């Protein structure tokens, strides 16, 4: 060891600056984590105007499952705007899937929503199971969001 004693002098200003920079660095890391980590979808669904009896059975998901007939809605949050999807379930299965109160800004910003939903609705009306719905590769994200909302509606409609 060396025989000379080393003395470290810290000025209070340097300590304060260091603390501030550490604090700002932590805030920056938290903001990066919030911005770039995947988020949970904020899709909610709720039944509305449920009509009919409880003894119906529908073949909707390739196996015979029981659903309560009625009109169900799912609210999708898209870029801060709310988009409402309506699913009509009868004893024979899903008879209609459509958007209600479709805002022009959403339709302009997301032009694939309407044609993809119409394609999904036609397939569901013809008896295709939800898992067997087909769509183009360019529509996979839009179709995924819409199919997830329909699945949540079916979970709500399950007896």
DSSP string across 33-50: HHHHS------EEEEEEE
Asked if 70 and 50 touch (Cβ cutoff 8 Å), the reply is yes
Q: What is the CATH number of domain 44-157?
A: 3.90.1010
Residue 43: φ, ψ to 5°: -85, 130
How high is the pLDDT of residue 43? Answer: 42
Instruction: Tell me the pLDDT of the chain (159 aa) as tens digits.
Output: 567 888 888 789 999 999 999 999 999 999 999 888 876 644 444 444 333 333 333 344 433 356 788 888 888 888 777 888 888 888 777 888 888 877 787 788 888 888 888 888 888 888 888 788 888 888 888 888 888 888 888 888 776
Rounded to two decimals, the pTM is: 0.54
How far is residue 125 from each of residues 69, 95, 153, measured CA to CA in Å?
15, 6, 16
């Amino acid at each position: 060891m060396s025989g000379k004693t080393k003395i470290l002098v810290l000025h209070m200003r340097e300590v304060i600056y260091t603390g501030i920079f550490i604090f700002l660095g932590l805030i920056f890391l938290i903001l990066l984590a919030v911005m770039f980590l995947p988020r949970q979808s904020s899709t909610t669904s709720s039944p509305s105007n449920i009509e009919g009896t409880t003894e119906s059975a529908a073949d909707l998901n390739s196996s015979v499952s029981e659903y309560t007939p009625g009109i169900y809605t799912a609210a999708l949050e898209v870029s801060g705007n709310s988009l409402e999807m309506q699913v009509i379930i009868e004893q024979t299965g899903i008879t209609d899937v459509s958007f209600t109160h479709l805002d022009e800004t959403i339709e302009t910003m997301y032009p694939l929503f309407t044609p993809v939903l119409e394609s999904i609705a036609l397939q569901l009306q013809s008896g295709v199971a939800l898992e067997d719905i087909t769509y183009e590769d360019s529509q996979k994200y839009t179709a995924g969001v819409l199919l997830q909302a329909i699945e949540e509606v079916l979970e709500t409609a399950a007896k």
